[in-house]
């Protein structure tokens, strides 16, 4: 064929409805998978960047033993094209006009922060500014509360050790402000190069050197690999993902995106499969005709292969033309939500899964029936033989299942996800087979009659083959869409529970026992009552089963909690969000025992019954482990590694109290008054951390909703494609029924009923299969509680039956409003 002829033949193809449906399915497939792929990549990048701000970098290396980071390590990082910054943290006394104060100092170099920004005010009356650099040499920024405590103003000088620094700003927020109770003293920030001149740091002082790294993910990973063997126990490597506060939310969001993308892949494959099979089966007459005209089997094979390739390319191109604008629009929305510019350059890698999905599903589903067309006898032109179709159904289904599994695996690289989806789908098909069998048995007994119900039932039975294939596809589509809906619902409510509107955003620490009542009254008078108050005794874990803990815990386990003081507490009741995983909680009036946090217990290899010795000051308390419990670290409430019973020996030791409460940002001025009245109580302000987490959760939520909307739209298109596959037959039947005396209303009612029944059955099966898949997914991926989601199970069958009834009505519309005469003419 000449190329012009080929073009003409392609245009002729396009006039066929089946071909248009195949191409439409491909377009939808590529568009959905590509959009989700691109958006997921963008979101991941954005999330990691915004989460990285918590470290002020992509990675941090902390040296807690008071020795600076070796020069060679800096060298290696810069050779790997990793940007670096360094800072020094220590505590000291500072002197101002109104006296002295213990402060925690953060000395930073010119490159700090590598990620995120510092929020400061050049003057108490000036506007807030976001700056990318700390104070210059000779200058210092102070926490506003410290400013008040020391009665300083901008321009005054502050003595830090031997050095006098000029106060040049108010430090409002550091990106890596963190949430550690180690730094309870108010913060000052100065330049790292000034540290030596202060003379504060000497042999044996408590000081932390911190290296910040930012750069390409693979470079950072490579650097970590290089560095790991050289790290000492006092070194700690931190990445965003290790951070306790955000990691779980981030991980879940990523998994949701992965799941959404995988579902899009499956949906797309189903759409292409349905459309292309329909096409292939419809081509039998044409093939037989071509054969009578003298075309050979292999020639026909080549012809159709060429066509599939052509449509594959057309579909991919069309899909991209849809996906790219949608992606840019979504990026725009994300930018608005975040209120900051994001880098929305196209990640070409995000497009690969879409193209692979389209081509694999086109060839896995369309090619087998098309290839079999070669074997269609020329005789088919004259008369078809019965019972030809079903023999290959099994091998086709295996191929289809295999193709879907491989696609999802390629996309998600997550075996449990593939298994959960495949198990859900297989179960669905098995149940479908059973239901179908029962349905046919029941429907067979329905005799015809002029009521819409009976006509609908009879039609379901008459078209049992298409009934079954439609129910299967609808049920699969509904299953996939409701899986995502269910996961999204539990994801969002989980996040909501984690950080409710009134989540505590301020901690009060170091409350003397005599002040407890006064502090509680101070805040409840102002309408911000305190949450639970916890006693706190600081002590080290020193003995394990009467051995020194250093010897008892094997050397290769690096447990940083052994290097520092732990907050020990006593409590009568288990906090609501804690869960006992081994042993049992203290009985009323218990005096002995300690409850250990589960992760620490695992790192130390602790079991119930082990004896732990704690050194508090000069005293040693020894208690057996009576329970191990999990703690919600991201709950923003006081959490403790070690909890003792209320009447334990710990009670004899001097304790201070801590608590948390919610204070709205517009009432923060109350803190000044509080600081004056209770100068010894430390206030830890975490409101900005909570705000940032809430912002990230909001942004992830938006993304989750957008992806859900995309998937639902794709599901609708798939359903419409399936319904329209039988459009011609349906319209023909409608026309004939009208000629034979079927009233319009009867036709409308029976058709809508028929589709409503179809939709209902598919809805029930689909939503139940989704529950099963979600159950499997929750177990492995989202670690949530398993429960029946009645709020989804009940409405979905109703919605799907209504939706399909409307589809049915729409399909019949061309038949209803013209005279039967015209219809007959059209049919001739």
Partner 1 sequence: MSESLSQSGACNQPSACNQPSACKQPSASRDTLLKVSELTHQVNLGSDTLTILQGVNFEIKRGESVAIVGRSGSGKTTLLGLMAGLDSPSQGRIELDGEAISELDEDQRARLRAHRVGFVFQSFQLLPALSALENVMLPLELAGHQAPAEQARDLLHRVGLGERLLHTPRQLSGGEQQRVAIARAFASNPSVLFADEPTGNLDTHTGRTISELLMALNQEQGTTLILVTHDDQLASRCQRRFAIEAGRVQEFEGAL
Q: How many residues bind partner 1 (CB under 8 A)?
A: 38
Q: From the CB of 825, what's the least distance to partner 1, in Å?
A: 8
Positive/negative CA dihedral, 771, 775, 778, 780: negative
- Nearer residue to partner 1 within complex by CB, 669 or 819: 819
551 three-state secondary structure: helix
- To partner 1, the closest distance from the beta carbon of 303 in angstroms equals 24
Closest CB to partner 1 among residues 101, 811: 811
Q: Is 789 helix (H, G, I), strand (E, B) or coil?
A: coil
Stretch that binds partner 1, among 351-359, 594-602, 704-712, 733-741 (CB under 8 A): 733-741
Contacts of 769 (CB under 8 A, 6+ apart): 424, 425, 427, 428, 431, 475, 479
User: What is the pairing mode between strands 547-548 and 579-583?
Assistant: unpaired
Q: At its nearest, how many Å lie between partner 1 and the CB of residue 743? A: 5
Interface with partner 1 (CB under 8 A), residue from 230, 729, 783, 798: 729
d(CA 209, CA 63): 5
Q: How far is the CB of 366 from partner 1 (least distance, A)?
A: 23
Q: Which of 732, 780, 789, 809 binds partner 1 (CB under 8 A)?
A: 732
The nearest distance, CB 353 to partner 1, in angstroms, is 38
Q: Which is nearer to partner 1, 343 or 828 (CB)?
A: 828
The CB density around residue 673, as the number of other CB atoms within 10 Å, is 11
- Nearer to partner 1 (CB atom), residue 530 or residue 737: 737
156: phi then psi, degrees, rounded to nearest 5: -70, 170
Mark residues 382-421: x for contact with partner 1 by CB under 8 A, - for none. Answer: -xxxx-----------------------------------
Nearest distance, CB of residue 24 and partner 1, angstroms: 24
The residue (of 73 and 461) whose beta carbon lies closer to partner 1 is 461
In the complex, the smallest distance separating the C-beta of residue 741 from partner 1, rounded to whole angstroms, is 3
In Å, how far are 538, 658, 672 from 519, measured between CA atoms? 21, 11, 14
Residues 6+ apart with CB under 8 A from 483: 259, 263, 424, 770, 773, 774, 777
Give the range of 141-149, 425-433, 442-450, 490-498 binding partner 1 by CB under 8 A.
442-450
Residue 375 CB, nearest approach to partner 1 (Å): 18
702 vs 713: CA distance, rounded Å: 16
End-to-end CA separation in angstroms for the chain: 33
Q: Give the E-state strand segments of 604-677 in sequence order.
A: 611-616, 619-630, 642-644, 656-661
CB of 384 to partner 1, least distance (A): 5
- DSSP character at residue 782: I
Of the residues 742, 763, 766, 797, which one makes contact with partner 1 according to CB under 8 A: 742
Which segment (330-338, 472-480, 730-738, 777-785) binds partner 1 by CB under 8 A? 730-738
In the complex, the smallest distance separating the C-beta of residue 389 from partner 1, rounded to whole angstroms, is 12
- Using the minimum distance from each CB to partner 1, give the nearer residue, 301 or 820: 820
Please report whether residue 739 would count as binding partner 1 according to CB under 8 A: yes
Q: Are strands 506-511 and 83-96 parallel, antiparallel or unpaired?
A: unpaired
Q: Pick between residue 186 and residue 742 the one whose CB is nearest to partner 1.
A: 742
The nearest distance, CB 733 to partner 1, in angstroms, is 5
**Which residues, numbered 678-697, are part of the site for partner 1 (CB under 8 A)?**
none
Give the separation between CA 409 and CA 403, rounded to whole angstroms. 10
Backbone φ and ψ for 669, nearest 5 degrees, come out as -60, -25
CB of 812 to partner 1, least distance (A): 15
Place of tokens 């999905």: 357
By CB under 8 A, residue 589 contacts partner 1: no
Q: Considering only residues 503-542, where is the footprint of partner 1 by CB under 8 A? A: none
How far from 723 is each of 720, 743, 752, 759, 808, CA to CA, in Å?
Answer: 5, 23, 13, 11, 8
Q: CA nearest 81: which of 223, 274, 282?
A: 223
Stretch that binds partner 1, among 50-58, 416-424, 599-607, 732-740 (CB under 8 A): 732-740
What's the min distance (Å) between Cβ of 816 and partner 1? 9
As measured in angstroms, the least distance from the Cβ of 820 to partner 1 is 4
Of 452, 563, 479, 567, nearest in space to 761 by CA: 479
- Choosing from 7, 521, 581, 822, the residue that interacts with partner 1 (CB under 8 A) is 822
- The CB-of-735 to partner 1 minimum distance in angstroms stands at 9
* In contact, 291 and 300? CB cutoff 8 Å: yes
Q: Decide: is 296 part of the binding site for partner 1 (CB under 8 A).
A: no
Q: Does residue 442 touch partner 1 according to CB under 8 A? A: no
Residues 781-820 that bind partner 1 (CB under 8 A): 819-820
- The encoded tokens of residue 622 equal 């020894």
Site for partner 1, residues 49 to 108, rule: CB under 8 A: none
Taking the C-alpha atoms of residue 363 and residue 109, their distance in angstroms, rounded to an integer, is: 58
Task: Identify which of 284, 250, 240 has the alpha carbon closest to the alpha carbon of residue 56.
Answer: 240
Smallest distance from partner 1 to CB 468, Å: 13
Restricted to residues 357-386, the positions that interact with partner 1 (CB under 8 A) are: 383-386
In whole angstroms, give the CA distance from residue 271 to residue 361: 9
Stretch that binds partner 1, among 150-158, 347-355, 735-743, 789-797 (CB under 8 A): 735-743
How far is residue 115 CA from its own chain's centroid?
Answer: 22
Least distance between partner 1 and beta carbon 796 (Å): 29
Q: Which of 395, 745, 779, 787 binds partner 1 (CB under 8 A)?
A: 745
Ranges within 444-483 binding partner 1 (CB under 8 A): 447-451, 454-455, 458, 462-463, 465-466
Minimum CB distance to partner 1 smaller for 548 or for 745? 745
- Rounded Cα distance between 252 and 241, Å, is 12
Closest contact distance (angstroms) between CB of 822 and partner 1 is: 7
Pairing type for strands 579-583 and 619-630 reads: antiparallel
Nearest to 674 by CA among 101, 128, 149, 174: 149
Peptide bond into 602 cis (omega under 30): no
When binding is defined by CB under 8 A, the residue of 78, 395, 493, 744 that contacts partner 1 is 744
Q: Which of the stretches 241-249, 256-264, 499-507, 734-742 binds partner 1 when contact is defined by CB under 8 A?
A: 734-742
DSSP symbol at 781: I
In DSSP terms, which residues pair with 619 in a beta bridge? 616
Identified binder of partner 1 from the candidate list 421, 439, 481, 737, rule CB under 8 A: 737
Which CB atom, from 516 or from 816, has the smaller least distance to partner 1? 816
Candidate segments 133-141, 479-487, 741-749, 805-813, binder of partner 1 by CB under 8 A: 741-749
743 binds partner 1 (CB under 8 A): yes
| Radius of gyration for the alpha carbons in the chain, expressed in angstroms and rounded | 34
| Pairing label, strands 566-570, 534-544 | antiparallel
In the complex with partner 1, the residue whose CB is nearer, 98 or 379, is 379
Q: Could you give the CA distance from residue 290 to residue 298 in angstroms, rounded to a whole number? A: 12
| Closer to partner 1 by Cβ: residue 158 or 737 | 737
Sites for partner 1 among residues 746-775 (CB under 8 A): 746
Written in H, E and C, the secondary structure of 325-393 is HHHHHHHHHHHHHHCCCCCCCCCHHHHHHHHHHHHHHHHHHHHHHHHHHCCCCHHHHCCCCCCCCHHHH
Residues interacting with partner 1, by CB under 8 A? 383-386, 447-451, 454-455, 458, 462-463, 465-466, 729, 732-733, 736-746, 819-822, 824-825, 827-828
């Amino acid at each position: 064929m000449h190329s012009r002829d080929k073009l003409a033949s392609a245009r002729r193809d396009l006039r066929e409805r089946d071909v248009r449906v195949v191409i439409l399915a491909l377009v939808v497939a590529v568009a959905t998978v590509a959009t989700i792929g691109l958006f997921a990549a963008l979101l991941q990048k954005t999330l990691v960047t915004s989460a990285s701000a918590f470290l002020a970098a992509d990675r941090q290396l902390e040296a807690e033993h008071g020795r600076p980071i070796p020069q060679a390590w800096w060298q290696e990082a810069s050779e790997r094209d990793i940007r670096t910054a360094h800072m020094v943290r220590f505590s000291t006394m500072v002197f101002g006009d109104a006296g002295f104060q213990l402060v925690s100092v953060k000395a930073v170099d010119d490159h700090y922060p590598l990620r995120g920004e510092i929020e400061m005010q050049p003057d108490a009356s000036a506007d807030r500014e976001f700056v990318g650099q700390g104070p210059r040499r000779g200058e210092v920024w102070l926490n506003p509360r410290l400013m008040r405590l020391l009665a300083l103003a901008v321009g005054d000088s502050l003595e830090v050790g031997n050095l006098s620094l000029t106060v040049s700003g108010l430090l409002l927020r550091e990106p890596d402000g963190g949430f550690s109770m180690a730094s309870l003293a108010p913060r000052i920030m100065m330049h790292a190069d000034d540290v030596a001149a202060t003379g504060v740091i000497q042999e044996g002082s408590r000081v932390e050197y911190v290296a910040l790294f930012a750069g390409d993910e693979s470079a950072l990973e490579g650097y970590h690999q290089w560095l790991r063997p050289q790290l000492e126990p006092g070194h700690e490597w931190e990445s965003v993902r290790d951070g306790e506060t955000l990691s779980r939310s981030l991980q879940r969001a990523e998994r949701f995106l992965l799941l959404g993308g995988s579902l899009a892949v499956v949906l797309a494959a189903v759409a292409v499969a349905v459309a292309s099979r329909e096409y292939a089966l419809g081509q039998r007459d044409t093939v037989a005709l071509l054969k009578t005209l003298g075309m050979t089997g292999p020639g026909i094979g080549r012809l159709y292969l060429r066509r599939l390739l052509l449509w594959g390319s057309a579909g991919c191109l069309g899909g991209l033309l849809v996906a790219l604008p949608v992606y840019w629009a979504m990026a725009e929305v994300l930018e608005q939500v975040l209120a900051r510019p994001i880098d929305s350059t196209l990640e070409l890698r995000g497009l690969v899964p879409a193209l692979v999905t389209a081509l694999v599903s086109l060839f896995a589903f369309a090619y087998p029936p098309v290839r079999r067309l070669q074997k269609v006898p020329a005789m088919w032109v004259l008369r078809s033989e019965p019972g030809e179709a079903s023999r290959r159904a099994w091998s086709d289904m295996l191929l289809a299942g295999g193709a879907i599994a491989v696609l999802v695996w390629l996309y998600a690289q997550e075996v449990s996800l593939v298994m959960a989806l495949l198990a859900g789908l297989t179960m669905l098909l098995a149940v479908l087979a059973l239901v179908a069998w029962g349905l046919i048995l029941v429907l067979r007994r329905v005799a015809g009659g002029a009521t819409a119900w009976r006509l609908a039932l009879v039609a379901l039975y008459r078209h049992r083959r298409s009934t079954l294939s439609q129910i299967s596809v609808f049920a699969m589509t509904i299953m996939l869409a409701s899986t995502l809906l269910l996961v999204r619902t539990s994801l969002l409510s989980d996040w909501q529970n984690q950080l409710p509107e009134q989540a505590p955003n301020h901690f009060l620490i170091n409350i003397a026992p005599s002040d407890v009542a006064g502090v509680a009254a101070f805040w409840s008078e102002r309408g911000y009552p305190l949450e639970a108050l916890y006693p706190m005794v600081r002590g080290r874990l020193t003995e394990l089963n009467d051995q020194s803990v250093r010897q008892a815990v094997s050397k290769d386990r690096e447990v940083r909690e052994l290097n520092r003081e732990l907050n020990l507490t006593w409590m009568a009741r288990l906090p609501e969000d804690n869960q006992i995983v081994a042993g049992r909680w203290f009985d009323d009036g218990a005096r002995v025992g300690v409850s250990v946090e589960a992760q620490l217990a695992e790192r130390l290899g602790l079991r119930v019954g082990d004896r732990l010795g704690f050194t508090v000051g000069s005293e040693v308390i020894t208690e057996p482990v009576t329970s191990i419990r999990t703690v919600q670290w991201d709950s923003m409430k006081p959490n403790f590694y070690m909890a003792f019973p209320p009447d334990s020996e710990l009670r004899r030791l001097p304790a201070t109290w801590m608590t948390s409460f919610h204070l709205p940002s517009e009432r923060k001025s109350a803190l000044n008054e509080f600081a004056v009245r209770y100068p010894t109580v430390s206030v830890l302000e975490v409101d900005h951390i909570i705000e940032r987490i809430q912002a990230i959760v909001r942004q992830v939520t938006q993304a989750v909703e957008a992806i859900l909307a995309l998937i639902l739209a794709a599901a609708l298109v798939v359903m419409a494609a399936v319904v329209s596959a039988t459009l011609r037959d349906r319209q023909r039947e409608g026309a004939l029924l009208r000629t034979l005396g079927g009233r319009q209303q009867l036709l409308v009612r029976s058709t809508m009923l028929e589709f409503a029944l179809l939709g209902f059955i598919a809805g029930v099966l689909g939503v139940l299969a989704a529950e099963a898949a979600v159950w499997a997914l929750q177990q492995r991926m989202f670690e949530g509680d398993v429960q029946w989601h009645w709020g989804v199970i009940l409405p979905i069958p109703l919605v799907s039956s209504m939706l399909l009834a409307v589809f049915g009505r729409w399909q019949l519309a061309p038949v209803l409003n013209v005279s039967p005469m015209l219809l007959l003419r059209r049919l001739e």
